[in-house]
Amino acid sequence: MILTNNLTPDSACRTFFSNDIYFASFSNAILFDGKQVIRPERLVRYENDMSLIIDDTKSAEDKKRRRDIVVKTDVDGVCCLFSIEHQSTIDKNMVIRCGNYEMLEYLKQLKNKKLKRLVPQV
């Protein structure tokens, strides 16, 4: 019997990077030239559902956004959010989408009066 895997590329990416060792290894390789800055045992999954209401003169629109993977950890004692967004096809607007995700997160943090400073995002 041959087993087949019906994972979409997006869900395969989420499944792979849900492993903290893989996430930390990939992030360290890409961001820190392989230096072990991000430790797998210090990763905490972070809620990444975001909602934005766009209100223009014609109509109000509720946009929901969700990143593929978001984790919270510290880098040299500074709490940071690290995200991975999978895109299986070329999308020239991807940089704008990722920028929107970051701005929504910063807006959410600004509303949280308990935070003393914004948590950086990568």
pLDDT given at position 3: 52
80-108 per-residue burial string, b: 16 or more CB within 10 A, e: under 16: ebbbbebeeeeeeeeeeeeeebbebbeee
Q: Which residues pair with residue 75 across a beta bridge?
A: 78
What's the CA gap between 91 and 86, in Å, rounded?
11
Number of structural domains in the chain: 1
Kindly report the backbone phi and psi dihedral angles of residue 119, in degrees, each rounded to the nearest multiple of 5, phi listed first.
Answer: -85, 120
4 found inside a domain = no
Q: Does the residue 57 lie in any domain?
A: yes
pTM of the model: 0.71
Per-residue model confidence (pLDDT) at position 89:
85
55 is in which domain, residue-wise?
9-111
Residue at 87 is within a domain: yes
- Give domain status of residue 76, yes or no: yes
Within a domain: residue 120? no
pLDDT value of residue 85 = 82
Model pLDDT, residue 54: 53
DSSP state of 113: T
Q: Is residue 117 part of a domain?
A: no
Mean pLDDT by 10 residues, the chain (122 residues): 68 89 95 95 80 56 68 90 85 85 83 84 81
Look at residue 122 and tell me if it is in a domain: no
Structure tokens at 86: 């999978």
Residue 2 lies in a domain: no
CA-CA distance, 60 to 53, in Å (whole number)?
7
